[in-house]
Chain A
Amino acid sequence: MSTRTALSLENGVVSLQEKVNDALRLARQLGASQAEANASFGTGFSVNVRLREVETLRHQRDQGLGVTVWLGHRKGSASTSDLRPEAIEESVRKACALARYGAEDPASGLADADKLAKSIPELSLYHPWAIDPAAAIELATTCEAAALDFDPRVTNSEGASVSTSESLRVYGNSHGFLGSYPESDHSISCSVVAAQDGAMETDYEYAVARDAADLPGPAEVGAEAGRRTVARLGGTKLETCNAPVLFPARVARGLIGHLLSAISGGALYRKSSFLVDTLGKPVFASRVTIDEKPHLLKALASAPFDDEGVATTERRLVDAGVLGGYLLGSYYARKLGMQSTGNSGGAHNLVVHSTGETFADLLRTMDRGLVIADLMGSGVNPVTGDYSRGASGFWVENGQIQYPVTEITIAGNLKDMFQGILGIGSDVDRRGAVLTGSILLEQMTIGGS
């Protein structure tokens, strides 16, 4: 199948493909009726500068191979970070041995052959960054300086980091599929501390991109870290109340993230989801439409095929509030009597359509309520949708931010929260698998003093 290669990982491609083929061949020799193997190689480095001095320089170099075999419908898996032939052989033998103890499970096996990617689209995911540690240290220094110099109340720092990595993944299976593609990820981040009246606050800003040319300037990232941190100073508690809540784009991504876990095959099959049996039903307010776009060029969650080699395709996941599909790999698709949606390993770029308002428009619509700065804790019950998390943010009156608030909770139920979406901003955050603008919710319970 397609084997696009890239310069610095070129030797890697050939050698990883050989290792995958060796593993598959050996699995067949040991009696496996089906097998798949996944090999990866990654390299990169990161630097951290703190208080204008280099603090750390970390070199990274990872490799690994995982193999899964089926004896009939009995499954066993093994993985190794040692890629010498004898270690790979040991892993394949171990996987076969484990499969003998597995139970016969008719749903278990490779993805159906006709679902596998037939061609591998070029998604522009690989852009190596020709940067050495010295130059990265300079960028990080500029970034941190912009944060430290933003305001005299910025008094301390966790530092600024610049990192670059490139990786290659090869997936093959006994249907004859062999696919690979290289990827790169580069980032700049900064976290500082501000102090006022003996109390300290911290916050951070980051940028991440496939192509370093798409990163904002380091000073821009640093200044934003400084601005965010200073804005949190002087936070007070709120009186307990019910009020509208605005999730800025950065936090709104997590809100949509709860949808992703709830419509994943495993959660649905085990009924450990608050969205069991909701296909074709309205789970959001009718103003909400969400597409899955796996082939967006340079996007962070783009992929030509999923973890089972299944071709990824664009689709409408939520249409005017109505749930149009689940996130399924082959196994749970079979368990649910459905088809794989190419989501073994997760969602690929969920694009939440904006309802057209700017962040300022949403503040005006809200009039009086809470803007979230940061959420803490894991207080979401996936089975019931009950949602209760620690928060800090800003209180809004007359459509304007008034003062920071801290040590509060926000609570509701995700079913009601999804139905209570009043608007989705045009200020899209593209730094993850969910691409959304800020989201305004009609009402939540805010716990304070």
Chain B
Amino acid sequence: MNAVVAPESSLARVRSQVLDAAGIADHDLERALGALMRGTVDNADLYFQVSRQESWTLEDGIVKEGAHSIEQGVGVRAMSGEKTGFAYSDELVVPALLQASAAASAIVRQGQQGRVQAWQPRSGHRLYAPIDPLPTLTDDDKVALLQRIDSEVRALDPRVKQVVASLAAAHEVILVCASDGAMAADVRPLVRFNISVIVEQGDKREQGYAGGGGRFGYEYFTPEQVLEYGREAVRQAVVNLDAVPAPSGEMVVVLGPGWPGVLLHEAIGHGLEGDFNRKGTSAFTGRVGERVASDLCTVVDDGTLPNRRGSLNVDDEGTPTRNTVLIENGILRGYLQDKMNARLMGTESTGNGRRQSFAHTPMPRMTNTYMLAGPHHPDEIIASVKKGVYARNFGGGQVDITSGKFVFSATEAYRIENGKLGAPIRDATLVGDGPTVLNRVSMVGNDLALDTGIGVCGKEGQSVPVGVGQPTLRIDGLTIGGTGGDE
């Protein structure tokens, strides 16, 4: 699926699409960066973005609405020590660019104009084809796909009473040029399919949800693929019809493979982002080289997986993404960095500088975060538990970086009794402590799986697409919060 396009020609194409169309020439970029590089400014950058998105939603068996949006603009940033000045404009014209540069540079007192390095085009990876995914299916076929899945899902089980399905695509073109000479462009396709169903049995009602996607065109959503999402949504809803209240208290918890890797994202990932560690506000601050997990655990953040939702050819500062080892056999190895925090911590960017859009400032963010496979068969892991909980699917999670406390909500979970799966249990929240939870990992499965391409990570009001993954894990003690009482 990876069309091979030389990055230089990709940069040239994006330049003409974004800059030439707006009448912005090289000397305008130099002028804008020159205006930013005043006084004590260490680094400055311009981030151009042109994106188009569409979504199609089906409810009641009909496509109720198609929606389309265009977003474009330029974000302008000047950094001096720990200071950042930022402004943006949603008009892509030279005067607006210069005005934004003047506003952003007000963070430092005026001084001599600094030096802007000669631009060196950065060749990023070629992890996905530089395509516009919106026209990869005709509008008629998008509508037909949604209608077909609606009738197929209703036919799966007569208890299905409501189906809401949606199809969405984004075509994002970005170009970043910085005073340190970085100049890079990226064309980022992203597609997504979601389905949620409501099932009814007697007076009980439950909801099930599934979906997936990644950086490719709509052709990924073959009839078989879409039906698989539909089956999964119905299966989850039906399982929960028979769910009993979850227990509460501390228990042995086995987490399933794939999306439950949201545990790593919350418990570990956020706490290892460079900004919190530079400021000393993370529970992981100053702990590189220390044991933070059992020696079965190796956790990475890998932005270089082909076609994944969390992958990027270059990050939003023009740095190629990497595979960064966060925890190696239980020992904390490093943090996720953007340029500013790397500079202040005396290290280099790991290609994790990401932003929601031109109207937001970059921060260290995760890409695809997962734990490598271990030696145990998943059946062996469940069989090892006398009494506990098996959590197979999750809603979302949240973490307090400073105290290290995190939560995540199970949407499909079962009791384990004498090594066997028992009754499904109702929605239960699991809480734990990031710096200690992985020390309690006593078994790691050989079944590493990544999620289906549904992750959205929120930080300081900015959302970015991410991926997570893990093999089956046994954790010897995590607090679970249900209404079923302590046992």
Contact = CB atoms under 8 A, between A and B. Distances in A.
Given A80-B70, A200-B281, A59 B431 contact: no
Given A61-B89, A386-B426, A408 B479 contact: yes
Specify which of A381, A406, A412 lies most central, judged by the most chain B CB atoms within 10 Å of its CB: A381
B63 A392 contact: no
A292 to B, nearest CB: 27
Interface string A412-448: 1100000000000000000000000000000001111
Given A240-B249, A381-B207, A389-B407, A407 B432 contact: yes
Contacts of B164: 270
Contacts of B462: none
Contacts of A64: 90
A447 B249 contact: yes
A314 interface: no
Nearest to A97: B139
A407 B248 contact: no
Interface in B404-443: 405-409, 426-429, 431-433
Contacts of A296: none
Contacts of A82: 70, 72, 90-92
Contacts of B65: 75-77, 98, 102
Contacts of B71: 80-81
Contacts of A102: 62-66
A376 B64 contact: no
A400 to B, nearest CB: 24
Contact of B481 (A158, A392, A411): A411
A78 B431 contact: no
B43 interface: no
Contacts of B82: 50, 53, 55
A22 interface: no
Interface stretch (B185-193, B297-305, B346-354, B395-403): B395-403
Given A377-B408, A445-B482, A79 B64 contact: no
B239 interface: no
Nearest to A444: B483
A271 B427 contact: no
Contacts, number: 256
Given A76-B65, A383-B205, A412 B483 contact: yes
Contact of B64 (A108, A156, A449): A108
B432 A376 contact: no
Interface stretch (A87-95, A145-153, A355-363): A87-95
Nearest to B237: A383
A388 interface: yes
B148 interface: no
Given A61-B90, A103-B62, A445-B483, A377 B70 contact: no
A8 interface: no
Contact of B395 (A199, A378, A411, A449): A378
Given A270-B162, A378-B396, A445 B70 contact: no
A379 interface: yes
B59 interface: yes
A44 to B, nearest CB: 12
Interface range, A side: 35 or more
B158 interface: no
Contacts of A237: 479
A279 to B, nearest CB: 18
Contacts of A80: 69-71
B86 A57 contact: yes
A158 B279 contact: yes
A202 interface: yes
Contacts of B408: 377
B246 interface: yes
Nearest to B251: A447
A271 B248 contact: no
B281 A156 contact: yes
B362 to A, nearest CB: 12
Interface in A222-261: 232, 235, 237, 240
Contacts of A389: 407, 429, 481
A77 B250 CA distance: 49
Interface string B341-384: 00000000000000000010100000000000000000000000
Most buried by A among B68, B104, B431: B431
B103 interface: yes
Contact of A379 (B84, B88, B428): B428
B55 to A, nearest CB: 9
Contact of B86 (A59, A91, A445): A59
Which of A53, A64, A101, A388 has the most B CB atoms < 10 Å from its CB? A388
Contacts of A57: 83-86, 104, 106-107
B409 A77 contact: no
Contacts of A76: 65-67
Nearest to A98: B66
A133 interface: yes
B60 to A, nearest CB: 8
Interface of A, secondary structure class, is: strand
A409 interface: yes
B198 interface: yes
B87 A59 contact: yes
A56 B361 contact: yes
Contact of A56 (B56, B83, B140): B83
A175 interface: no
Contact of B480 (A133, A202, A382, A447): A447
B100 interface: yes
B405 A390 contact: yes
A78 B87 CA distance: 26
A410 interface: yes
A170 interface: no
B426 A59 contact: no
Nearest to B280: A156
B72 A81 contact: yes
B67 A59 contact: no
A262 B483 CA distance: 21
A271 B196 CA distance: 12
Contact of B397 (A61, A90, A200, A377): A377
Contacts of A351: none
A197 interface: no
A346 B224 CA distance: 38
Interface string B196-214: 1010100001110000000
A54 B84 CA distance: 9
A57 B87 CA distance: 8
Contact of A240 (B91, B196, B486): B486
Given A202-B403, A379-B407, A56 B85 contact: yes
Interface in A91-118: 91, 94-95, 97-99, 101-105, 108
B73 interface: yes
B143 interface: yes
B143 to A, nearest CB: 5
Nearest to B360: A58
A439 B464 CA distance: 35
Contacts of B359: 60, 62
Given A377-B408, A379-B428, A383-B198, 9 more contacts: A57-B83, A57-B106, A200-B402, A272-B162, A378-B396, A390-B405, A390-B407, A409-B479, A409-B481
17 contacts: A50-B82, A56-B84, A59-B86, A62-B90, A62-B359, A98-B68, A103-B62, A199-B403, A202-B401, A235-B403, A272-B196, A376-B398, A376-B399, A386-B483, A407-B431, A413-B483, A447-B479
Interface of A: 50, 53-64, 66, 75-82, 87, 90-91, 94-95, 97-99, 101-105, 108, 133, 156, 158, 193, 199-202, 232, 235, 237, 240, 270-272, 276, 374, 376-384, 386, 388-390, 392, 406-413, 445-449
Q: What 4 A-B pairs come out closest when comparing CB atoms?
A: A409-B481, A390-B407, A103-B62, A98-B66
